[in-house]
């Protein structure tokens, strides 16, 4: 089951900040040394990753269909005087109108397999030569062995299956299931995430 923008608006309204102010662990760790360029964050939520990228010097476009999340992200960025472009739209319909990016990031967007396939392929086509596709989300193993995440297997990610969706022969920097510590009020649990980091060849 996937959810519409009204569902996500409701979830965001229920919390002052639904996700963290800090970027995702793997985004910050794996992309810290990548030279800044043009970045696209699809399903950016409140912008924890988009804002971090912009702070690192990237020129960032952040897209999400939740008006509440986009408004919150815009306010958070403005308060810190960080500039980025916010787009309130459905990532399955939006397209960048010919603009190319050096990084496309998709973090914890768990849609059905057909949608993921076309989104990954479109994202790849929006990369400039040498650009990177960085995907991080709940891994299939998380269903039985990890903390949190969607409760249905078909929306969870397998790193090799994601790599196989990309046309041509991408250079694979990372395609792994990795552990992410999650600190709750009761415990420190472990979530299992799929991390996929691919680089597009320089040849057209």
Kindly tell me which of 3 and 78 has the beta carbon lying closer to ligand SAM.
3
d(CA 38, CA 97): 15
Kindly tell me which of 101 and 202 has the beta carbon lying closer to ligand SAM.
101
Helix 67-79 vs helix 48-55: angle between axes, to the nearest 10 degrees? 30
Q: How far is the CB of 162 from ligand SAM (least distance, A)?
A: 16
Q: Which of residues 97-156 bind ligand SAM (CB under 6 A)?
A: 107-109
Q: Are 199 and 130 in contact (CB under 8 A)?
A: yes
Residue 86 in the binding site for ligand SAM (CB under 6 A): no
Segment interacting with ligand SAM (CB under 6 A) among 43-51, 157-165, 182-190, 196-204: 43-51
Segment interacting with ligand SAM (CB under 6 A) among 39-47, 53-61, 77-85, 148-156: 39-47
10 Å Cβ neighbour count for 27? 21
Closest CA to 195 of 181, 172, 176, 180: 176
Q: How far is the CB of 168 from ligand SAM (least distance, A)?
A: 26
Residue 90 in the binding site for ligand SAM (CB under 6 A): yes
d(CA 28, CA 34): 10
């Amino acid at each position: 089951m996937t959810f519409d923008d009204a569902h996500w608006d409701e979830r965001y309204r229920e919390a002052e900040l639904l996700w963290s102010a800090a970027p995702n662990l793997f985004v910050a760790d794996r992309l810290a040394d990548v030279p800044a360029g043009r970045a696209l964050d699809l399903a950016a939520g409140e912008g924890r990753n988009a804002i971090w990228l912009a702070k690192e010097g990237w020129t960032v476009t952040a897209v999400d269909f939740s008006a509440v999340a986009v408004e919150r992200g815009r306010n958070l960025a403005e308060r810190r005087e960080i500039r980025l472009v916010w787009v309130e739209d459905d990532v399955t319909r939006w397209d960048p109108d010919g603009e190319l990016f050096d990084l496309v990031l998709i973090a914890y967007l768990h849609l059905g397999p057909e949608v993921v396939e076309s989104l990954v392929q479109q994202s790849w086509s929006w990369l400039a030569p040498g650009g990177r596709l960085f995907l991080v989300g709940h891994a299939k193993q998380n269903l039985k062995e990890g903390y949190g995440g969607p409760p249905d297997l078909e929306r969870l990610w397998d790193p090799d299956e994601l790599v196989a969706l990309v046309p041509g022969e991408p250079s694979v920097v990372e395609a792994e299931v990795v552990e992410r510590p999650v600190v709750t009020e009761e415990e420190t649990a472990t979530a299992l995430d799929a991390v996929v980091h691919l680089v597009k060849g320089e040849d057209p």
